[in-house]
Amino acid sequence: MSAEPPPPVPLDNRFARDLPELAVPWRAEPAPDPRLLVLDESLAAELGLDPGWLRSPDGVGLLVGTTVPVGATPVAQAYAGHQFGGYVPQLGDGRALLLGELVDADGHRRDLHLKGSGRTPFARGGDGLAAVGPMLREYVVSRAMHALGIPTTRSLAVVSTGRTVYRETPLPGAVLARVADSHLRVGSFQYARATGDVDLLRRLADHAISRHHPAAAGAERPYLALLGAVVAAQASLVARWMLVGFVHGVMNTDNMTISGETIDYGPCAFMEAFDPATVYSSIDHRGRYAYGNQPAAAEWNLARLAEALLPLLHDDEEKAIDLAMESLDGFRRRFDAAWSTGMRAKLGLPDDVDQAVVTPLAEELTALLAAGRVDVTSFFRALAGAARGEVEPTRRLFPDPGAVDDWLTRWRALGPDADGMDRVNPVYVPRNHLVEEALAAATDGDLAPLGRLLDVLSAPYDERAGLERYAAPAPPDFGAYRTYCGT
């Protein structure tokens, strides 16, 4: 510990103050040899944190949780959750800490949170630690999602700890510093509901309304409005995932936020060959969280949120259930609308083309992509070329190029806007083989491939010469991709 004055980081602790029943004050484990591997300087600046200071020993101490600013109350958060459909009454931050909240000049409050900072009372059998590879993976994929314009928690930094983490093999340990509008999850509400303390449930809902869905406060039924707002945020979020081929991989209720941010990048991956049954997670044997099941999984999770909120919706349980069902019905409508709007943009179709034309055209396309197992990112990007008259690169993506001709003719007759397409169809997404390559190099101490990958992914819509390999799918010898969570 240094004798220097504590770091100048004004961390508030409103979560711990408002909801002490969900917050266990706790401290990070010491890191024997902390080294900053990556820092998102622009995010630091957004948060009012000086990147130069964050690189100093005290700054790095903050990023691993060993230097705690005066007045901060780091806590492990309690939550419950359905994991692959089975209810676990107590999960909580087993290897994470909420350091506190940073409030910007506009009053926007954001959590500063650590993952991999040591065992907490919620650790169960876990070691409380995280390895460099998986923490960098979250850093890379969350950065890509943000650059794609998809709501997500952000990664501020990854610091290697100098501690060895034992998985199948010994690995270098790391802590990820993460920033989010909050870490409230569906599982937070399940936990509060299960305590039977309606006052706690109400305080949690009030906290969520004030932080994420303030308009609900003025509604006739604020808690029903909160449910509706979360349904809307998640419908929009999952539609955004679907439009870029993102597979979250572990959509348990403890991994679904109230804010509508993507959270917990574990066994996630970007789909290449289009197939709704795509699963990457090594533990998702039944494909519960397969690409094509994600909207249904989100809807299921939201039903769990609605159940948890029932006592706040109406004194009469029957009436509360009716209100909840009506609100949940909004999910499909909103998801379909968000997906259709997104597809219209991806296809570059002007507003005056009737939705009754766009929807079947999009459905026909997904069937063609599935039949040809076409790389989705390459397809939509190449399609802008087809709108400009260069159809060959698009045709060549299909094993039988003639299969898409009729579709292309009908689509081109609608007058697609190629430049508009280039603004919504990314050239660069985190290709699984490139992510693995960068993480393997970083684990061995070479950060250069990671730096290049981050640079490419930070501007996903701008095609740049010389970066062709970042735009191409994995070579066939990469094989079937498997991802692991909880590592």
d(CA 173, CA 150): 29
- Other beta carbons within 10 angstroms of residue 461's beta carbon come to 15
Smallest CA-to-CA distance from 135 within 251, 264, 224, 246 is with 264
Question: What are the tokens at 168?
Answer: 């199948």
Stretch that binds ligand AMP, among 4-12, 120-128, 212-220, 282-290 (CB under 6 A): 120-128
Q: How many residues does the chain have?
A: 487
Give 123: exposed, middle or buried? Use CB within 10 Å, 0-12, 13-18, 19+: middle
The Cβ-side half-sphere exposure at 206, using a 13 Å CA radius, reads 9
Please select the residue that binds ligand AMP; options are 36, 103, 123, 418, rule is CB under 6 A.
123
486 binds ligand AMP (CB under 6 A): yes
337 binds ligand AMP (CB under 6 A): no
Q: In the bound complex, what is the minimum distance in angstroms from residue 241's beta carbon to ligand AMP?
A: 17
The residue nearest Mg ion at its CB is 264
Give the nearer residue to ligand AMP in terms of CB position, either 19 or 91.
Answer: 91
What DSSP line would sit under 119-146, residue for residue? --TT-TTS-S--BHHHHHHHHHHHHHHH
Stretch that binds ligand AMP, among 90-98, 101-109, 225-233, 343-351 (CB under 6 A): 90-98
Please select the residue that binds ligand AMP; options are 102, 174, 244, 250, rule is CB under 6 A.
250
Is residue 284 part of the annotated active site? The answer reads no
Give the nearer residue to Mg ion in terms of CB position, either 255 or 394.
Answer: 255
Distances (CA, A) of 343 to 128, 365, 482: 41, 11, 28
d(CA 38, CA 142): 13
Secondary structure percentages of the chain, helix, strand, coil, to 5: 50, 15, 40
Give the nearer residue to ligand AMP in terms of CB position, either 74 or 348.
Answer: 74
Stretch that binds ligand AMP, among 8-16, 87-95, 135-143, 235-243 (CB under 6 A): 87-95
d(CA 436, CA 134): 10
Please select the residue that binds Mg ion; options are 264, 272, 284, 299, rule is CB under 5 A.
264
CB 251 within 8 A of CB 297: yes
Pick the catalytic residue from 40, 181, 206, 254. 254
Please select the residue that binds ligand AMP; options are 126, 214, 445, 451, rule is CB under 6 A.
126
Give the nearer residue to ligand AMP in terms of CB position, either 115 or 334.
Answer: 115
Please select the residue that binds Mg ion; options are 13, 67, 255, 301, rule is CB under 5 A.
255
Please select the residue that binds ligand AMP; options are 68, 91, 147, 256, rule is CB under 6 A.
91
Site residues (vs ligand AMP, CB under 6 A): 91-96, 122-123, 126-129, 250, 254-255, 264, 266, 485-486
Site residues (vs Mg ion, CB under 5 A): 255, 264
Residues with catalytic annotation?
Answer: 254
